Amino acid sequence: MRPEQWESFKKAAKRAPGATTPVALLVDSPWIPGYIGVSHLDYYLDPEIWFQANLRILREFSEVILFPSWWVEYGMATEPSAYGNRIHFWPDQPPAQSPVLARIEDAGTLPAINPHTDGLMALVLHRYRMQRTRILDAGYTMPVVAARGPLCIAAFLRGVSEFMLDLADNPGAVHTLLDHTTQTVIAWLKAQAEAIGDTVEGLLVLDDIVGFLPARAYREFAHPYLKRICDAFPRGWVKVYHNDANVRPFLGELSETGFDVLNWSHKLDVLEAMAKTGGRLCLMGNVPPLEVGVRGTPEMVREHARDVLTKAQGKGIILSVGGGVSPGMPKENILALCSAGEASGNGA
């Protein structure tokens, strides 16, 4: 994104007086290589292809805030790779990974993660250091660092089903694991901020596994760890939380963690989300990303976008899809989303 776009996003996120309603999209490797027409392997491994792909996207959709901007990621493989998970790469889709922690009781034996040396984290940091000056010289900024959240990483290590059983069968060991993964998230975000430099003023945490929890389990196993992450960074930073699973049980409490923005699912109507958050969070959404964003027409996108904007009445909203951009979302639908924001008089 450009510096002025970041200022627009930041004002909306902090619900500052006079803030407009930006149009922003969370974009990453599930969508970019397919849209550009390159293999995922080339996108991940060739720095020039990665740079030119991101540059083309930024220029082609110059009126949209592409978030978090120049994101170096390997699908969801970066954090689990640091723990030794086996990573599986393919040319036409993001990588997957296999769980490595066979017993939850062994969580206390996990060594501390060093982002500067461990797994794909070291390669991400190198890419940021090597490309930073080139990106800034092109007129863009790199304001946000990103990480998968502590429950998400725990589920990578154990497997989702196994981790959900652990919550009931061995909560003490789960807390040991979550303490470890929370430390990893904080260290990983700080290492990225150090590599990028003083343009960083925000963070993005992605953790859908939290959305699998009922309210009581959220309070025990998610809230304190999310809060610890937010507390580890300056109060003035913009803190964005992505969760397009079921956020309904804990929406009223989420703002107490320190997050400013929630990127949430289209399955929860914006009016209900606003009521439950009580204006304490800026909401980033909430056009259906697959049924409308990928499979719908531009007019359908505009119709859903207008519905979001009408219900929000320009207060505490960043117009987006309900989650990240899904693979296959066409150019005309992205432009339709942008035109809906511009028609409201509050575009980016």
Q: Would you give per-residue pLDDT tens digits along the chain (348 residues)?
A: 999 999 999 999 999 998 999 999 999 999 999 999 999 999 999 999 999 999 999 999 999 999 999 999 999 999 999 999 999 999 999 999 999 999 999 999 999 999 999 999 999 999 999 999 999 999 999 999 999 999 999 999 999 999 999 999 999 999 999 999 999 999 999 999 999 999 999 999 999 999 999 999 999 999 999 999 999 999 999 999 999 999 999 999 999 999 999 999 999 999 999 999 999 999 999 999 999 999 999 999 999 999 999 999 988 999 999 999 999 999 999 999 999 988 765 544
Cβ–Cβ < 8 Å for 32, 39: no
- How many CA atoms within 13 Å lie on the side-chain side of 174? 20
Cβ–Cβ < 8 Å for 261, 284: yes
Diameter over CA atoms, the chain: 56
Cβ–Cβ < 8 Å for 22, 8: yes
φ, ψ (nearest 5 deg) of residue 65: -80, 110
CA 254 → CA 8, 219, 274, distances in Å? 23, 10, 12
Checking DSSP bridges between strand 86-90 and strand 93-98, what pairing results, if any? antiparallel
Task: Domain 3-343: give its CATH architecture.
Answer: Alpha-Beta Barrel (3.20)
Alpha carbon distance 308, 151 (integer Å): 30
SS3 229: helix
Residue with tokens 């990928």: 294
E-assigned strands of 114-233?
144-148, 202-206
Vertex 223: Cα angle to 220 and 226 (nearest 5): 135
Question: Is the torsion defined by CA of 233, 237, 243, 248 positive or negative?
Answer: positive
Q: In this structure, how many other beta carbons lie within 10 angstroms of the beta carbon of residue 279?
A: 12
pTM: 0.97
SS3 123: helix
Alpha carbon distance 322, 80 (integer Å): 25
- Closest by CA position to 149, among listed 79, 82, 203, 207: 207
Q: Where are the domains of the chain?
A: 3-343
